[in-house]
């Protein structure tokens, strides 16, 4: 457990914390920004309480297909912290593996932290595989690492990545 890989991303947004929080916690707002570029997302269920489900549908551009997700909220600290279990689902909301790769972790823990930064808001997000095998963790690292423009294989970069910045 000590070396579980963690993907992190941090961004400062030019909006007050209350507005950023609302954008993360109101389904009408989420539907407008959550998802990869070019996709058309909709929210099927949004039960905003610990144990509640956020289920979504995402249509890929150019008739590229449809995928479903199911997130389960674990912790909600208003204006400060959101934690949910993140994973794919079928159309009925049953948990499934990532359709393209059995090796992708079945579930990931998403932790989002909100803090004031000047006039704006800093959001720190981390993604940690949940109960994943070493193979699944390795797949996750190799896939997420490539988002920074290629995997150099240098241990320094790996250390930074695993340390989660």
Tell me whether residue 32 or residue 133 sits nearer to other proteins (CB atom). 32
Tell me whether residue 51 or residue 92 sits nearer to other proteins (CB atom). 92
Tell me whether residue 29 or residue 51 sits nearer to other proteins (CB atom). 29
Residue 71 Cβ vs other proteins, minimum distance, rounded to whole Å: 12
User: With contact defined as beta carbons under 8 Å apart, do 48 and 30 qualify?
Assistant: no
Residue 3 Cβ vs other proteins, minimum distance, rounded to whole Å: 21
Question: What is the DSSP annotation of 88-123?
Answer: EE-TT--EE--TT-TTS-S-EEEEEEEEEETTEEEE
Q: Give the integer Cα–Cα distance in Å for 2 and 24.
A: 30
Using DSSP's 3-state secondary structure scheme, residue 139 falls into helix
Binding site for other proteins (CB under 8 A): 7, 9, 11, 13-15, 19-20, 22-23, 26, 29, 32-39, 58, 60-62, 64-65, 67, 98-102, 104, 123, 125, 127, 143-144, 146-147
């Amino acid at each position: 457990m000590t070396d579980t890989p963690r993907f992190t991303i941090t961004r400062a947004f030019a909006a007050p914390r209350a507005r950023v929080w609302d954008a993360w916690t109101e389904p009408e707002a989420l539907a407008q920004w959550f998802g990869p570029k070019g996709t058309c997302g909709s929210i099927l269920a949004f039960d905003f309480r610990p144990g509640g489900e956020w289920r979504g549908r995402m249509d890929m551009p150019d008739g590229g297909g449809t995928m479903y997700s199911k997130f389960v909220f674990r912790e909600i600290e208003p204006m400060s912290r959101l934690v949910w279990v993140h994973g794919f689902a079928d159309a009925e909301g049953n948990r499934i593996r990532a359709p393209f790769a059995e090796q992708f972790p079945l579930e990931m823990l998403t932790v989002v932290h909100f803090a004031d930064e000047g006039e704006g808001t800093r959001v720190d997000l981390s993604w940690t595989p949940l109960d994943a095998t070493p193979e699944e963790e390795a797949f996750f690292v190799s896939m997420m690492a490539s988002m920074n423009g290629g995997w150099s294989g240098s241990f320094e970069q790996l250390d930074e990545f695993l340390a989660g910045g």
